[in-house]
Chain A
Amino acid sequence: MQFSESHYLLSSKPAPLANFSGLLRRLNVDVPLLGGLLLICTFGLFVLYSATGESSRLLINQAVRLGIALVAMLIVAQLPPDFLRRWTPWGYLAGLLLLVLVLTKGDVGQGARRWLDFGIRFQPSEAMKLAVPMMMAWYLHDRQIPPRIGHLAVIAGFIAIPTYMIAQQPDLGTALLIAISGVIVIILAGMSFRLMLGLGVLAVPGALVLWNFMEDYQKQRVFTLFNPDSDPLGAGYNIIQSKIAIGSGGLFGKGWTNGSQAHLEFLPERHTDFIFAVLGEEFGLLGVLSLLALYLFVIARGLYIAVQAPDTYSRLLAGSISLTFLVYVFVNTAMVTGMVPVVGIPLPLVSFGGTSMVTLMAGFGILMSIHSHRKLLPH
């Protein structure tokens, strides 16, 4: 329902800048998607400015990163889906190789080994966020949908190997997201619900096994979720303070840059993972609903593009990218509102930080490319 509605809204939108939008079309840019993204980014910059204690340095820094990410999006949008598909296995293999390099030679930062330094520092795990669904879509492209069990086993392997390696860094948040993006591909590919149910039943003992392998601090996060007040100055502190921030925002918020929780430093990680709480405090329910609506619009547009896509590869990839974006939004907002354990997942396009933004925008570039090149493909 939403896509048809949003499609209607967007297609009926007047185009006063016809020449400009024509240029955008020639550049394979999807105007509605770009519009949604830019609105989110602009909103995000406002919130970030307040969350950083009105630091123009960090604001400019973030704006520059956004610019770089937009350029990456534009570049990716020029690559036709067929081209992407042909190069997918090589990209995936290269990604795995880099992950091996990370584990053996990577730079250590904040207790984890995540970065590679080839003149510029970057995280290969970020590239895998796109490479994994691409690889799965590539594999399923020529095969019967819904996939057979054997095929499922193969693509499960495509997920498992990088997920395991990233979890070893350790970077559980990213590993989880990659696994989820892979699972989304499997679901979109039409795996039978009965099978899913079966796997779901199997997941219970799996979770127990996983629990045993979890570090104490990770277990603590789960405990804390259910009773944050048990440790108000320790693990529960973030959740308590972010709930106070959001709750005290009320319907209309305390006003931009007036949030006491954020400005008085009660709220930890306020310009990174917990920026949503700043938004909730300063802009209230109205503000958070607006942002969620923008996110929903972007996701809906992505799914619309996926549905419109001409082939399996494009469809699965576009669907996975859109829904992974949803997972980002959900996990972060649910974490900040105290509904899921604290995992280090930033609020997409709003939280301060560079690498993940480039990946996200590159993903949207793929969506744009898929949408823009669809007529050129045989149908």
Chain B
Amino acid sequence: MKLLSPIKDHYSERRLFIGRAIIASVVSVMLLGLVVARLVQLQVFNHELFAEKSQGNRVRIEPVPPIRGLVFDRKGRVIAENLPAYQLELIPEQVDDIDDTLNRLAAINLIEPDDIPRFKELSRSGPQFKPITLKFRLTDEEIANFAIQRPRFPGIDFRPRLVRHYPNGELFAHAVGYVGALSAGDLRRLDSARYAGTSHTGKTGVESSFENDLHGYAGFRHLITNARGRQIPADSRELLDSLPMDETPRPGSNIYLSLDLDLQQVAYDALAGRRGAVVALDPTNGEILALVSTPSFDPNLFAVGMSTAQYGELQDNLDRPLFNRAVRGTYPPGSTIKPMLSLAALETGATNLTRKTVCIGYFQLEGNEHRYRDWKPEGHGPVDLHDAIEQSCDVYFYQLGVNLGIDNMHDYLTRFGLGSATGVDVLGEKPGLVPSREWKRNNFSDSDNQRWYHGETVIAAIGQGFMLTTPLQLASAVGTLAMRGDRYRPHLVAAVEDPISQKRELVEPELIGNVEIDNTFYWDSVLAAMHDVMQGPRGTARAVGTGAPYEMAGKSGTAQLVSIAQDEEYDKEEIAERLRDHALFISFAPFDDPRIAVAVIVENGSSGSGVAAPIAKAIMDQYLGYGDDAIQ
């Protein structure tokens, strides 16, 4: 041990040190005093502020989407329901390498490679804790397959959720429509509070037009969340009690359709393999009993989400399965308007019940060589109005049309509801067209085309030329014939049921027009002629009507093709098939007490009585309780 240096003055050194130690301790106390002052500031003076902030920090409002209302047919059978399904989700914050994960998911066929860029984009935008749905419905097999591989996919999981399900698949695709994922446009249009937490909305059909009833109102609940916004359980009673009241969602209303599942099925089966549409309604109140457009598609594809390829296939299909022919398809009505024109002609005196026209197979306007041909080249000979309807004599109606004039035609056909939207309770209905002089003046630019020509009146009398109608309009019109002039607004929805009180609000029949022909004799005569179309000795559709266990009335028609896009290229066989006439048929039954009115259109079906009439018959058989006969 070293000896202490003699130079050192221990006393003064100790004093110096003590001095410094005192200064140091004063500084220490001051420093800690600063901290204490700061703590007092934070914990006493600003306590309220920070307490509020900490409360706001952990409580998050989460919307609870309502359960969508169910859709039933008129007998209470489920047409649209909500089924639990497992969906595949990706939580961006939990996935280290999004690219790699998506590629590997595609490799095991859980997602489509085409969709990867879209998912990548989705995972970049939006909160990182919010799951992205990769697939809306997993099959049992896919769930099993993924469950095994789950450890390889951190941040990917499946979660149950309610998915709209249409148990009857294609059957109601056009009538009920479908729900699809909310688009950017939907989000702008819809009330964001009401749709908070909702992923799908009605896109077409009843699902769309009754969206307001079906959707319900979102509720919300307060969640205790961590810093990343993820829900965590409350850690104390006090914390739970501090939460504001939650609001339970109000479920959507249930919808009862006037459609009948069995009738719909019969109509669909009868149209199977063809392009066409059927609308059957109750003429006494406008309730639509069947509404079918074929070919159809599976609406579940939209509800669960489909791949780009699947959608492309539907979109590009030449037969246009997505197209709702029943309310959006416009066709020349052909001879189906003959009974209506007959009534107009009787009422206006353009013809009478006894006047005969000699049909020689064609008709010529005075001073014009052009021959307007009858469908029967050798002619029907002398025919009166009854014969002309029963046999669908074109020449008689050419003459009738000329006598009646286009403006009278327009006037009366309009009273039957042609040429304007029927006001049916689904969206997107087409109004069709009943031409008139005025219409021509307003809708053509050059003066040659603005003129109305006699020849145009002639072909209008057999429902050709400019005239266009939808199957729904024809059904409504034949219903109006059956009701002798009373026209009810056609509708698909019969009742809306409050899901909680179970109280049903019935849709009342709405009389929207009357043809205003009061002479019952005219009605009797024209309807009798329509009866004979089906069950008379020379009726065009007697092959269908004869032997039926009930009395019915009908009228066939054929019309030229217009609805297929013209600038597409088809092979020769296609052209031949697709240039055939459309087959139309309208009918109602029972004759004395009409309960069902049916309009059928079969595109390129050639023969109204041969192709369309049996379909109408099958539907009426089913509805009137002779269903077994229909199965032949």
Q: Spell out A's residues near B (CB within 8 Å).
A: 2-3, 82, 142-146, 184, 187-190, 241, 243-251, 257-258, 260-261, 263-266, 280-281, 284-285, 288-289, 292, 295-296, 299-300, 303, 306-307, 311-312, 315-316, 319, 323, 326, 329-330, 333-334, 337-339, 378
Q: Is B352 an interface residue (CB 8 A)?
A: no
Q: Is B28 an interface residue (CB 8 A)?
A: yes
Q: Is B68 an interface residue (CB 8 A)?
A: no
CB 8 Å contact bits of B206-241 with A (1 = contact, 0 = none) = 000000000000000000111110001001101100
Expressed in whole angstroms, the minimum distance between the Cβ of A233 and any Cβ of chain B is: 10
**A284 touching B43, Cβ below 8 Å:** yes
With contacts A265-B228, A280-B43, A337-B42 taken as known, whether A260 is within 8 angstroms of B58 at the C-beta atoms is yes
**B236 touching A247, Cβ below 8 Å:** no
The B400-415 residues at the A interface (CB cut-off 8 A) are: none
**A82 touching B226, Cβ below 8 Å:** no
Q: Spell out B's residues near A (CB within 8 Å).
A: 1-2, 4-5, 7-8, 13-14, 16-21, 24-25, 28-29, 31-32, 34-36, 38-40, 42-44, 46-47, 49-51, 53-55, 57-58, 224-228, 232, 235-236, 238-239
Residue in contact with B58 in the complex, picked from A246, A266, A311, CB distance below 8 Å: A266
Residue in contact with A285 in the complex, picked from B43, B54, B227, CB distance below 8 Å: B43
With contacts A190-B17, A247-B46 taken as known, whether A288 is within 8 angstroms of B39 at the C-beta atoms is yes
**A323 touching B43, Cβ below 8 Å:** no
**B24 touching A187, Cβ below 8 Å:** yes
Inter-chain contacts of B8 with A (CB < 8 A): 142, 144-145, 312
Q: List 5 A-B contacts (CB under 8 A).
A: A244-B57, A246-B39, A249-B47, A315-B14, A316-B17
**Nearest chain A residue, comparing its CB with the CB of B230:** A265
Expressed in whole angstroms, the minimum distance between the Cβ of B441 and any Cβ of chain A is: 67
Inter-chain contacts of A299 with B (CB < 8 A): 25, 28
Inter-chain contacts of B55 with A (CB < 8 A): 248, 260
With contacts A145-B13, A251-B44, A264-B58 taken as known, whether A244 is within 8 angstroms of B50 at the C-beta atoms is yes
Expressed in whole angstroms, the minimum distance between the Cβ of B228 and any Cβ of chain A is: 7
**B34 touching A264, Cβ below 8 Å:** no
With contacts A187-B20, A190-B20 taken as known, whether A249 is within 8 angstroms of B29 at the C-beta atoms is no
**B39 touching A266, Cβ below 8 Å:** no
With contacts A248-B54, A258-B235 taken as known, whether A265 is within 8 angstroms of B227 at the C-beta atoms is yes
Expressed in whole angstroms, the minimum distance between the Cβ of A134 and any Cβ of chain B is: 16
**A330 touching B232, Cβ below 8 Å:** no
Inter-chain contacts of A245 with B (CB < 8 A): 50, 54
Knowing that A250-B47, A289-B39 touch, tell me 9 more A-B residue pairs with CB under 8 angstroms.
Answer: A247-B43, A248-B47, A250-B51, A263-B235, A266-B54, A285-B39, A285-B43, A306-B17, A319-B24
Expressed in whole angstroms, the minimum distance between the Cβ of A308 and any Cβ of chain B is: 10
**A296 touching B28, Cβ below 8 Å:** yes
**B40 touching A285, Cβ below 8 Å:** yes
Residue in contact with A337 in the complex, picked from B38, B49, B228, CB distance below 8 Å: B38
Inter-chain contacts of A246 with B (CB < 8 A): 39, 42-43, 50
Residue in contact with A2 in the complex, picked from B19, B25, B39, B226, CB distance below 8 Å: B25
Inter-chain contacts of B7 with A (CB < 8 A): 144
**B35 touching A337, Cβ below 8 Å:** yes
**B24 touching A323, Cβ below 8 Å:** yes
Inter-chain contacts of B18 with A (CB < 8 A): 307
Inter-chain contacts of A307 with B (CB < 8 A): 17-18, 21
Expressed in whole angstroms, the minimum distance between the Cβ of B10 and any Cβ of chain A is: 8
Expressed in whole angstroms, the minimum distance between the Cβ of A63 and any Cβ of chain B is: 24
With contacts A144-B8, A258-B236 taken as known, whether A292 is within 8 angstroms of B46 at the C-beta atoms is no
Expressed in whole angstroms, the minimum distance between the Cβ of A309 and any Cβ of chain B is: 9
Inter-chain contacts of A244 with B (CB < 8 A): 50, 53-54, 57
**A280 touching B57, Cβ below 8 Å:** no
Most chain A Cβ neighbours within 10 Å, of B7, B36, B46, B57: B57
**Nearest chain B residue, comparing its CB with the CB of A146:** B16
8 closest pairs, A vs B, by CB? A247-B50, A248-B54, A247-B42, A265-B226, A248-B50, A266-B227, A248-B51, A285-B43
Inter-chain contacts of B50 with A (CB < 8 A): 243-248
**A296 touching B40, Cβ below 8 Å:** no
With contacts A146-B16, A334-B38 taken as known, whether A303 is within 8 angstroms of B21 at the C-beta atoms is yes
Expressed in whole angstroms, the minimum distance between the Cβ of B329 and any Cβ of chain A is: 55
Residue in contact with A250 in the complex, picked from B2, B20, B44, B226, CB distance below 8 Å: B44
**Nearest chain A residue, comparing its CB with the CB of B12:** A145
In whole angstroms, how far apart are the Cα atoms of A316 and B18 in the complex? 11
In whole angstroms, how far apart are the Cα atoms of A245 and B53 in the complex? 9
**B235 touching A334, Cβ below 8 Å:** no
Inter-chain contacts of B54 with A (CB < 8 A): 244-245, 247-248, 260-261, 266, 281
Inter-chain contacts of A338 with B (CB < 8 A): 38
Residue in contact with B13 in the complex, picked from A285, A312, A323, CB distance below 8 Å: A312
**B21 touching A188, Cβ below 8 Å:** yes
Expressed in whole angstroms, the minimum distance between the Cβ of B591 and any Cβ of chain A is: 76
In whole angstroms, how far apart are the Cα atoms of A3 and B28 in the complex? 13
**B32 touching A339, Cβ below 8 Å:** no
Inter-chain contacts of A248 with B (CB < 8 A): 47, 50-51, 53-55
**B43 touching A264, Cβ below 8 Å:** no
In whole angstroms, how far apart are the Cα atoms of A285 and B38 in the complex? 11
In whole angstroms, how far apart are the Cα atoms of A188 and B28 in the complex? 13
Expressed in whole angstroms, the minimum distance between the Cβ of A318 and any Cβ of chain B is: 10
In whole angstroms, how far apart are the Cα atoms of A82 and B50 in the complex? 53
**A296 touching B2, Cβ below 8 Å:** no
Most chain B Cβ neighbours within 10 Å, of A264, A280, A300, A306: A264
Inter-chain contacts of A284 with B (CB < 8 A): 43
**A142 touching B36, Cβ below 8 Å:** no
With contacts A248-B53, A296-B28, A339-B38 taken as known, whether A142 is within 8 angstroms of B46 at the C-beta atoms is no
**B44 touching A306, Cβ below 8 Å:** no
In whole angstroms, how far apart are the Cα atoms of A258 and B44 in the complex? 19
Residue in contact with B32 in the complex, picked from A142, A292, A306, A319, CB distance below 8 Å: A292
With contacts A190-B16, A246-B50, A264-B58 taken as known, whether A306 is within 8 angstroms of B21 at the C-beta atoms is yes
With contacts A190-B16, A265-B227, A315-B17 taken as known, whether A249 is within 8 angstroms of B43 at the C-beta atoms is yes
In whole angstroms, how far apart are the Cα atoms of A311 and B42 in the complex? 44
Inter-chain contacts of B238 with A (CB < 8 A): 258
In whole angstroms, how far apart are the Cα atoms of A343 and B57 in the complex? 25
In whole angstroms, how far apart are the Cα atoms of A239 and B14 in the complex? 43
**B32 touching A264, Cβ below 8 Å:** no
**B20 touching A188, Cβ below 8 Å:** yes
With contacts A251-B44, A280-B43 taken as known, whether A339 is within 8 angstroms of B35 at the C-beta atoms is yes
Inter-chain contacts of B28 with A (CB < 8 A): 296, 299, 323, 326
**A264 touching B29, Cβ below 8 Å:** no
**A261 touching B35, Cβ below 8 Å:** no
In whole angstroms, how far apart are the Cα atoms of A247 and B19 in the complex? 38
Expressed in whole angstroms, the minimum distance between the Cβ of B260 and any Cβ of chain A is: 56
With contacts A261-B54, A264-B226, A303-B24 taken as known, whether A247 is within 8 angstroms of B49 at the C-beta atoms is yes
**A319 touching B42, Cβ below 8 Å:** no
Inter-chain contacts of B232 with A (CB < 8 A): 264
Residue in contact with B25 in the complex, picked from A144, A263, A300, CB distance below 8 Å: A300
Residue in contact with B239 in the complex, picked from A260, A261, A288, A326, CB distance below 8 Å: A260
With contacts A247-B51, A307-B21 taken as known, whether A266 is within 8 angstroms of B32 at the C-beta atoms is no
**Nearest chain B residue, comparing its CB with the CB of A240:** B53
**Nearest chain B residue, comparing its CB with the CB of A184:** B24
Inter-chain contacts of B4 with A (CB < 8 A): 311, 378
In whole angstroms, how far apart are the Cα atoms of A308 and B358 in the complex? 141
**B57 touching A264, Cβ below 8 Å:** yes
Inter-chain contacts of B17 with A (CB < 8 A): 145, 188, 190, 306-307, 315-316, 319
In whole angstroms, how far apart are the Cα atoms of A93 and B304 in the complex? 73
Inter-chain contacts of A260 with B (CB < 8 A): 54-55, 57-58, 235, 239
